Amino acid sequence: MSALTLFYVGTSYLCAAVFFGGLSYRLAGYAATPSPLRIPLTPQATTVFGVIKKNAVSMAVFRALFIGERWTWVGGYSLHVIFVFVFLRHLRLFINPVPEFLVDLQPLALLFAALLPLPVLFLISRRMYVDRYRYISSGADYFALVLLLVIGLSGLALKFVSHSDLVGVKEFLLGLVLLSPVEMPSHPAFMLHFSLVLLLGFYFPFSKLVHAGGVFLSPTTTQVEDNREQIHANPRGGN
Amino acid sequence: MAKPIFDIPNLDEALKTPAVKKGASAHLKIHPAQPPLMEKLGFPPALVEGWQKKAVEKLGELKEKYKSLKLFMEVCVKCGSCADKCHYYLGTSDPNNMPVGRQELMRKVYRKNFTVGGALFGKLANAEEMDEETLKEWSTYFYQCSQCRRCSVFCPFGIDTAEITMAAREIMDSIGAGHKYSVEIIGKVHDVGNNLGIPKPALQSTLDFLEEDVKEATGADVKFPLDQEGADVLFITPSADFFSSPHVDSLVGYAKVFHAAGIGFTFSSHASEFANFGMFVGNYDQMKKISERIVQAARDLKVKRIIVGECGHAWRVAYSFWETLNGPFDFLDVKKPMHVCEFTHDLIKKGALTFDKTANDEFTVTYHDSCNVARASRMGDAPGGQFEIPREILRAVCNKYVEMPDAVNRQKTFCCGGGGGLLTDELMELRVKGAAAKTSALKTVMQEKGVNTMAMICAICKAQFSKVLPYYEIPMETVAGIHQLVSNAIRLGEK
Amino acid sequence: MNGEKFSGLAVAAAVMLLVALPLLYSATGNGLFHKPPKPELVLPVGGDGKCVEPTDFMRSNHMKLLVHARDRIVRGGELLPKYHIEGCKNCHVKRAEFCDRCHGYAGVRPDCFECHNLP
Amino acid sequence: MGAIDVAGKSIEVDEDGYLLNLGDWSKDAAEVLAKGEGIPLTEAHWEVVNFLRDYYDEYKIAPMIRILTKEIGKKLGKEKGNTKYLYELYPGGPAKQACKIAGLPKPTGCV
């Protein structure tokens, strides 16, 4: 195995450990921290099922953002929908055999995934040109967006500019997944794309990007409002 | 009214997002709490040695105590959806009054001390130490938040600035930097039993006066009993109801409802206050201690249930927190606290009350949803009862009832501008500017639908609007309590 | 453990599981610690054993050659026997033993065979 | 914290200008405090101030506004027994402004 492959394999596993370990740590940390008092944002459903139903809808359509800031919703929502297609586009490289429906989906997934730079650029310029958003935006906010942008562009380059040996790429990725790494295809655009994704993986659990899991744990939106029906004790006891 | 020394917002523009003006409300400062006031509550009398470190320690302690704080510190993506949803930002244009801007004041300290990125990259990652400048910002802008939760309605993650404001105030109190208004009032509750500091003899004379006054006006022997052991109901109401106008008119309304329904009730001199400023200062122990008095009074007076008067934040404390703080209420027949609107509403549904609606014909009434009732509690059996029950009462007692525009109604209601412990004179400019959003909606229905009365069920809202509406050339008499209108229309079966 | 904490941990686990799902899917097929499967191609027996371009280049770029050739032949009217797909058939006789192997592996569906018939 | 000057004597007041020590009050102090509020004290103003001080002496708190209006009505005639009249006298509000001039502590709470 070449030194370069060795380096990437090592970094990949480290990245996976940091990503999964870090994200688990963060999310478990939220889950384990008590909520001494009941603070659901009312009106709120009075049963667990009701809360799940309500959140399934409002999270699926980004309801709060939709009623809050329509243009940001257009950018943010389309970006997240595109993430789904990006995921569907890449999933075939990590699993074998590839299910038929996933193969069927590829042209559509490509069509949407290829649009990724548009919402990202929109979200960046929104931060730059609207005074309120400029005021609240820091380096980290731009970093996350720019990272997404270059990951997207390098990915598109792999498809449209400098095509890689997809079979070799899949063999490499599958080798990583199966804990039996093989030689990495030495294709510059792929290496760039892959490196940036690793960077994102490392960055993710340390950043605001944990909102991806945190959104499911927010007490105001996920607590059941059943104070009339139940007695809630303070999980910490007296204070 | 004394001439204001600041610009009054233009109501036609009040709901439009203003351009950012840095530092526009930096001059609006609170009065610091004096040492004896702080000590009474067990806080350090003045800024302690090494407060920078202690503040960070306290923040670390609170983030492990409250899931809300920890999660809200970490998951904000700064999308800006909340930015123009705060009445104080709309009124002042100060970016630190954008909810996310306010949160950032704490987040930058949090990042520095509790995140890897903040520790590694410092200012580059928008992470800063707790220092004099930061404390100054905290003591300014965390007292320009009324904990109304409107921002969290528009947050994709439900981030509630109120939780952050409460934590910030708790931290500041813990290092010896308190706000005179809240700290002094909590002290009075402990000493005298109510926010205003009305001693028992004064309370008794006030209630006697009201009995006579109502008798004079209606001929009915409506009772205002105090400390009457064995009464069915313990009635707890904000002490402003014993002091201010128009608050007292609702007090009369409560008593008339009890009279008409033939249900015995009593006030308590031990617990002559429903408000719980422990919530405003974010202090769990104070909140618990303050509400403990009410439980004690209920035990001592051997009542069967507790009904509470028109107060917004206290209804949140009662409905959402009481049982957690002081429960369970096994000694009561009805274990859950009941809002007076629920009580009256039930009686109306049962047909136990009769009204002469024409008594309110001079009023075209609209309803102001108070923030803590709307977004932090409930009434009745179904979600949203807190919106419908008060409205149903109003429709039952008035012929002319009008809704405010949807964008500022129900869950999306704007704060009156004086909630969350900001109902203090040194913040008058903030209060006037913060009231602009809701007032503009009021003005719309006044002009378009002839509204001349805005009903509400919060002592703070009543006091705040009575005070600030005249700045917008709207008479203070526009403000009314729901039970004030009930009082006008209710038939007592005598006279 | 109270209900809220439990549901919180469950949600955290669910999020993790969602990300880990593809890994599990792969692992169940072949088992961990085995070299990843790769397509097995049946290579041409006849000819000189050389393609029109080097193998490495063909792996990454055959689709472009074919598409370019199609455009130039069909739209431009050129004669380009070297890159014409009909030429491929001379050596790669069975689609199922050559094209489909990699395409199936990578989950790519070519549209060549909508028109061209390769048994 | 600050102080006001009453006939050459310095008297301590709080941040909002209310007397720190009730014992410091005098008619002169009331005049000075009223001047600070931009209110010329007339006989009608004094009616209110005196009633507030008497009530405070007995109950250690300012009276409910309703009690004040009724009392003024009794003394000065029904047409003056209302909040409107009191606000004419004390535009800053009878509770806060009149209490200040009467040397009473500031009523604070949800008022």
Question: Which chain B residues touch D86 with a CB distance below 8 Å?
Answer: none
**Least CB–CB distance from A92: residue in C16, C56, C107:** C107
For B334-373, the pLDDT digits (tens) are 999 999 999 999 999 999 999 999 999 999 999 999 999 9
Least Cα separation, residue D49 to chain B (angstroms): 17
Q: Which residues of chain C have pLDDT under 50?
A: none
**Residue D93: inside a domain, yes or no?**
yes
Q: Which residues contact B402 (CB under 8 A, 6 or more apart)?
A: B364, B365, B366, B445, B449, B451
DSSP state of D98: I
Domain co-membership, B141 together with B249? no
Helix axes B200-218, B247-261, angle to 10 degrees: 70
The single-letter DSSP state of residue B317 is I
Residues 6+ apart with CB under 8 A from B170: B58, B62, B281, B282, B283
Query: Is position D37 within any domain?
Result: yes
Minimal CA–CA distance to B242: which of B230, B226, B228? B226
Both C59 and C110 in one domain: the answer is yes
D6/chain B closest Cα distance in angstroms: 23
Q: Is residue B181 included in any domain, yes or no?
A: no
Output DSSP code: residue D4: E
- Structural domain span for residue D48: 2-101
- Rounded-to-integer distance, Cα B113 and Cα B219, Å: 67
Q: Which of A20, A180, A223 sits opposite C16 (nearest CB)?
A: A20
The reply to whether C84 falls in a domain is yes
Is B38 in contact with B174 (CB distance < 8 Å)? no
Report d(CA A134, CA A129) in Å as an integer. 7
Sheet with B233-236, edge to edge strand ranges: B265-266, B233-236, B305-308, B338-339
Residue B204 in contact with partner chain D when CB distance is under 8 A: no
Domain residues for B319?
A: 193-489
Kindly state the tokens that stand for C80.
Answer: 């380009």
Whether the predicted pLDDT of A234 surpasses 50: yes
pLDDT at B1: 44
pLDDT at residue number A96: 86
Q: Which CATH number fits domain A3-222: 1.10.8.60, 1.10.10.10, 1.20.950.20, 3.90.1300.10?
A: 1.20.950.20
Averaged pLDDT, B16-38: 97
**Model ipTM?**
0.91
Q: Do A208 and B70 touch (CB under 8 A)?
A: no
Residue D17 has pLDDT above 80, yes or no: yes
Name the residue facing A171 among C2, C19, C38 (closest C-beta): C38
pLDDT digits (tens, 9 = 90+) for B440-489: 999 999 999 999 999 999 999 999 999 999 999 999 999 999 999 999 99
Tell me: do C73 and C104 sit in the same domain. yes
What's the rounded Cα separation, in Å, for the pair B445 and A2? 76
Q: Once rounded to an integer, what is the mean pLDDT over residues A58-67?
A: 97
Q: Picking from A19-28, B251-260, B416-425, B479-488, which range would have the lowest pLDDT averaged per residue?
A: A19-28
The fraction of chain B above a pLDDT of 70, given in percent, is 99
Average pLDDT of the segment spanning A207-221: 94
A120-145 pLDDT tens trace: 999 999 999 999 999 999 999 999 99
Tell me, what's the pLDDT at B495? 40
Residue B72 sits in a domain whose CATH number is 1.10.1060
* C 56-115 residues with CB < 8 A to A: 56, 59-61, 63-64, 102, 104-109
> What percentage of residues in chain A have a pLDDT greater than 90?
90
User: Among this protein's residues, is D110 annotated catalytic?
Assistant: yes
pLDDT at residue number C8: 67
The answer to whether the CB atoms of B242 and D93 lie below 8 A apart is no
Mean pLDDT of all residues in A173-185 = 92
CA distance D34 to chain B (A): 13
Q: Tokens standing for C112? A: 């060549």
Secondary structure of residue D12 in the 3-state scheme: strand
Sign of the dihedral through C-alpha B26, B28, B29, B30: negative
Cβ-Cβ contacts under 8 Å, B84 against chain A: 132
Question: How many CA atoms, within 13 angstroms, populate the side-chain half-sphere of residue B286?
Answer: 28
Q: Cα–Cα–Cα angle for B449, B455, B460, nearest 5°?
A: 135
Rounded Cα distance between A225 and A230, Å, is 9
Task: Please report which confidence band the pLDDT of residue B243 belongs to, taking 50, 70 and 90 as the band edges.
Answer: very high
Beta bridge partners of B481: B456
- Does residue B166 sit in the same domain as residue B232? no
Angle between helices B247-261 and B459-468 (to 10 degrees): 140
Which residue of C34, C38, C40, C55 is the best one to mutate when testing the A interface, meaning the one whose CB has the most A CBs within 10 A?
Answer: C38
pLDDT score of A239 more than 90 = no
pLDDT of residue B3: 55
Q: Which residue of B has its CA nearest to D94?
A: B244
Q: Is the pLDDT of residue B494 over 70?
A: no
Strands D2-6 and D9-13: antiparallel
- When the pLDDT of each residue in chain D is averaged and rounded to a whole number, the result is 92
| D108 belongs to a structural domain | no
Helices (H), B232-311: 247-261, 284-300
Q: Which of A210, A219, A232 sits opposite B324 (nearest CB)?
A: A232
CB contact set of B91 (below 8 Å; sequence gap of 6+): B9, B14, B417, B430, B432, B433, B434, B435, B436, B437
Among the listed residues B56, B291, B41, B23, the one whose alpha carbon sits nearest the alpha carbon of residue B178: B41
Whether residue D107 is contained in a domain is answered as no
Exposure class string for A207-234: b at 16+ Cβ within 10 A, else e: bbbbbbbbbbbbbbbbbbbbbeeeebeb
Both structure tokens of D97:
């402004």
| Mean pLDDT across B428-444 | 98
Domain identity same for C65 and C100: yes
SS3 category, B264: coil
Amino acid type, A85: F
Candidates B141, B87, B151, B18; CA nearest to B368 is B87
DSSP-based three-state secondary structure for B388: helix
User: Are residues D108 and B196, on separate chains, in Cβ contact within 8 Å?
Assistant: yes
Closest CA to B168 of B213, B93, B108: B108
A55 in contact with B at a CB cutoff of 8 Å? Answer: no
- Asked if residue B495 is part of any domain, the answer here is no
Domain count for chain C: 2
The verdict on a CB contact (< 8 Å) between C32 and A179 is yes
- Mean pLDDT (chain A) is 94
Give the range of the structural domain holding residue C14, as residue numbers without chain letter.
1-34
Q: Is some CB atom of chain C closer than 8 A to the CB atom of A108?
A: no
Closest by Cα among B47, B25, B34 to B141: B25
Sign of the dihedral defined by the CA atoms of residues B481, B412, B417, B288, in that order: positive
User: Is C90 part of any domain?
Assistant: yes
Helices and strands in chain C: count of H runs, count of E runs? 4, 0
Which candidate, D10, D28, D7, D31, places its Cα nearest to that of D20? Answer: D10
Domain contains C44 = no
Same domain, C72 and C102: yes
Alpha carbon distances (Å) from B99 to A23, B124, D85:
27, 22, 42
Question: Could you tell me if D62 and D56 are in contact, meaning their C-beta atoms sit under 8 angstroms apart?
Answer: yes
Interface of D with B in 48-77 (CB under 8 A): 58-67, 70
Average pLDDT value for residue range B151-169: 98
User: Does residue B453 share a domain with residue B402?
Assistant: yes
Same domain, C70 and C22: no
Furthest-apart CA atoms within chain B: distance in Å: 78
* Type and span of the H or E element at D7: none
* Whether residue D35 has pLDDT greater than 50: yes
Please tell me the distance from the alpha carbon of residue B374 to that of residue B377, in angstroms, as a whole number: 7
Q: Is B101 in contact with B166 (CB distance < 8 Å)?
A: no
For residue B273, the surrounding DSSP H or E stretch is none
Segment D93-111, tens digit of pLDDT: 888 899 999 999 999 988 8
Token pair for A92? 């075939």
Looking at residue C89, what is its pLDDT? 81
Task: Print the SS3 string covering chain A.
Answer: CCHHHHHHHHHHHHHHHHHHHHHHHHHHHHHHCCCCCCCCCCCCCCCHHHHHHHHHHHHHCCHHHHHHCHHHHHHHHHHHHHHHHHHHHHHCCCCCCCCHHHHHHHHHHHHHHCCCHHHHHHHHHHHHHCHHHHHHCCHHHHHHHHHHHHHHHHHHHHHHCCCCCHHHHHHHHHHHHCCCCCCCCCCHHHHHHHHHHHHHHHHHHHCHHHHHHHCCCCHHHHCCCCCCCCCCCCCCCCC
Least confident of B100-109, B308-317, D19-28: D19-28
Cα separation, D64 vs D59, whole angstroms: 11
Does D touch C (3+ CB pairs < 8 Å)?
A: no
Element (H, E) at B370: none
Chains touching C (3+ CB pairs < 8 Å): A
Q: State how many domains chain D has.
A: 1
Residues B200 and B287 in one domain: yes
Spatial separation of the C-alpha atoms in residues B444 and C63, rounded to whole Å? 66
User: What CATH number should be reported for the domain holding residue D44?
Assistant: 1.10.10.370
Residue D24: which pLDDT band, with cuts at 50, 70 and 90? very high
Overall number of domains in chain B: 2
**Mean pLDDT to the nearest integer, B409-433:** 97
Q: Which of D59, D92, D110 has its CB closest to that of B1?
A: D92
- The catalytic residue among D15, D84, D110, D111 is D110
- Cβ(B486)–Cβ(B348) under 8 Å? no
Q: Do chains A and D touch (3 or more CB pairs under 8 A)?
A: no
Distance CA(A195)–CA(A189), nearest Å, equals 10
Check residue B469 and report its DSSP letter.
G
* Closest among B411, B413, B431, B433 to B421, alpha carbons compared: B431
What pLDDT was estimated at residue D2?
A: 86
* Chain C residues closer than 8 Å to A165 by CB: 56, 59-60
Phi, psi of D3 (to 5 degrees): -150, 155
**Residue of B31, B185, B467 lying closest to D109 (CB–CB):** B185
Residue C101 lies in a domain: yes
Q: Cis bond leading into A97, ω under 30°?
A: yes
Q: A117 or C56, which is more confident?
A: A117
The residues, ordered by sequence, that sit 6+ positions from B141 with a Cβ below 8 Å of its Cβ are B94, B96, B97, B101, B102, B105
Structure token digits, residue B333: 């027949």
* Number of inter-chain CB pairs under 8 A, B vs D: 91
CB atoms within 10 A of CB A83: 15
CA distance A72 to B79: 7
The neighbour count for residue B40, using CB atoms within 10 Å, is: 17
Residues B255, B328: contact at Cβ < 8 Å? no
CA–CA separation, B329 vs B343, rounded Å? 19
